[in-house]
Copies of this chain bind each other. A is one copy, B any other.
Amino acid sequence: MTSRIRRFDLKLTHTWRIARGTGTSVFPVVLYELTDANGITGIGESAPIARYDESVDTVEAFLGKVDASRLSFADPAAGMRYLDSIATGQHAAKCAVNIALLDGAAKIARQPIHDFLKLGFTEGKHITSFSIGIDTPDVIREKVRAAAAFPVLKLKVGTPDEESNFAALREMAPDKPVRVDANEGWKTREEALRRIEWLARDGHVQFVEQPMPAATPASDWAWLKTRSPLPIFADESYHNAADASRVADCFHGVNVKLVKTAGISGAHEALLAARQQGLKTMIGCMIETSVLISAAAHLAELADHLDIDGNILASNDPYLGPTSDRGVISFAAAPDPFGLRIRPRPPG
């Protein structure tokens, strides 16, 4: 096997004009390709999370240490054990390799990854939310208007401006279902409960992600879970399958991201483990290309909710994969029948 590491700067669709000029926001990711002796290529991606001390620099450094000759499409699990022998942690970096291994393995089996994993994929059933980035209320209103076709929105709360931000969203979308991400923003169980009660009064909020810091004691989480009028989902409190039993007493559901679980295999386990504990499941994402988004979509049958819009927020996704018109994730027009079902976007 040979490998190729490539950094790519994703640009957000949303450009902003200020008195000082016209800006675009750039989010770097790392793409990783493996090619075997028969010319079969698998591709993977890393969109690192600063919260876990990973960046495109740490990802490139880790991937640079990987000896591709020790990886094989015939045994992805052995490949992951080899990666763990190089370093602990570094889940976003390992994610890129895992996706590439599964892409190649499923291509050799001449199956899409969802069939290779025996999950299947039902068309028309899987809907992603669309994230409204925090900005000035003016820009929030504009973004909500632009997202009119999406049936479910997601908004960050847990900041001093949460009420005016939520109000700006509601001005443009009075009764659209919204999920909110508090992103560890509320500091005590009482504050969290008060804010969740405020959100519950809206009548159209589905659930609340990560109301308090991950370091909050389990007893406070359990206190909040029994009282919360809305389901609470673990994001920073749920990394992988090993956390499932601990989280079951504290949350109603979990947000699984491939860059937290070191790829598709870990996410598959994390979703199954959560369901075994009776937890609801969602799959989340970062700003990422159709490589990571497609990898997540292949696991959709194991998710109660999808939040995989990271490629739609970018203007220069270098790959074509599943579509998400009106939020419906579909492989019906996906360019390749096997593996991730993606293809490089033709120029122009």
Cα separation A19 to B21 with both chains bound (whole Å): 26
Q: Which chain B residue has the least Cβ–Cβ distance from A313?
A: B20
Q: When each residue 30-73 of chain A gets 1 if its CB lies under 8 Å from chain B and 0 otherwise, what string results?
A: 00000000000000000101110001000000000000000000
Contacts A18-B134, A138-B160 known; list 19 others, CB within 8 Å: A12-B23, A17-B51, A20-B287, A20-B310, A21-B27, A21-B49, A21-B286, A23-B25, A23-B287, A24-B25, A24-B26, A24-B27, A25-B25, A26-B26, A134-B136, A135-B135, A135-B136, A136-B136, A137-B161
Cα separation A27 to B21 with both chains bound (whole Å): 7
- Does A107 make an interface contact (CB < 8 A)? no
Question: Most chain-B CB neighbours within 10 Å: which of A18, A19, A136, A286?
Answer: A19
Binding site for B on A (CB under 8 A): 11-12, 17-27, 47, 49-51, 55, 131, 133-138, 156, 159-161, 164, 181, 183, 285-288, 310, 313
Cα separation A313 to B21 with both chains bound (whole Å): 12
Query: Which residues of B have CB within 8 Å of A49?
Result: 21
Cα separation A310 to B20 with both chains bound (whole Å): 8
Query: Which residues of B have CB within 8 Å of A19?
Result: 156, 181, 183
Query: Which residues of B have CB within 8 Å of A26?
Result: 11, 23-26
What is the total number of copies of this protein in its complex? 2
Q: A25-B26, A26-B25 are in contact. Are A285 and B20 (CB under 8 A)?
A: yes
- Taking the closest CB of chain B, its distance from the CB of A237, in whole angstroms, is 14
Query: Which of B23, B183, B285, B287 sits near A27, CB closer than 8 Å?
Result: B23
Query: A286 and B133: CB pair below 8 A?
Result: no
Query: Which residues of B have CB within 8 Å of A18?
Result: 133-134, 156
- Taking the closest CB of chain B, its distance from the CB of A57, in whole angstroms, is 11
Query: Which residues of B have CB within 8 Å of A20?
Result: 27, 131, 133, 285-287, 310, 313
Query: B138 and A161: CB pair below 8 A?
Result: yes
Cα separation A136 to B51 with both chains bound (whole Å): 21
25 interchain pairs, CB-CB under 8 A: A11-B26, A12-B23, A17-B50, A18-B134, A18-B156, A19-B156, A20-B27, A20-B131, A20-B287, A20-B310, A21-B27, A21-B286, A21-B287, A21-B288, A22-B27, A22-B55, A23-B25, A24-B25, A25-B25, A25-B26, A134-B136, A137-B161, A138-B159, A138-B160, A164-B164
Counting from the closest, the 6 A-B pairs by CB-CB distance are A21-B287, A23-B25, A21-B27, A21-B286, A20-B287, A22-B50
Question: Most chain-B CB neighbours within 10 Å: which of A17, A27, A55?
Answer: A27
Query: B133 and A159: CB pair below 8 A?
Result: no
Q: Which chain B residue has the least Cβ–Cβ distance from A168?
A: B160
- Taking the closest CB of chain B, its distance from the CB of A180, in whole angstroms, is 11
Cα separation A21 to B49 with both chains bound (whole Å): 6
Cα separation A17 to B25 with both chains bound (whole Å): 12
- Taking the closest CB of chain B, its distance from the CB of A136, in whole angstroms, is 6
Cα separation A161 to B164 with both chains bound (whole Å): 10
Query: Which residues of B have CB within 8 Å of A285?
Result: 20
Q: Which chain B residue has the least Cβ–Cβ distance from A183?
A: B19
Query: Which residues of B have CB within 8 Å of A161?
Result: 136-138
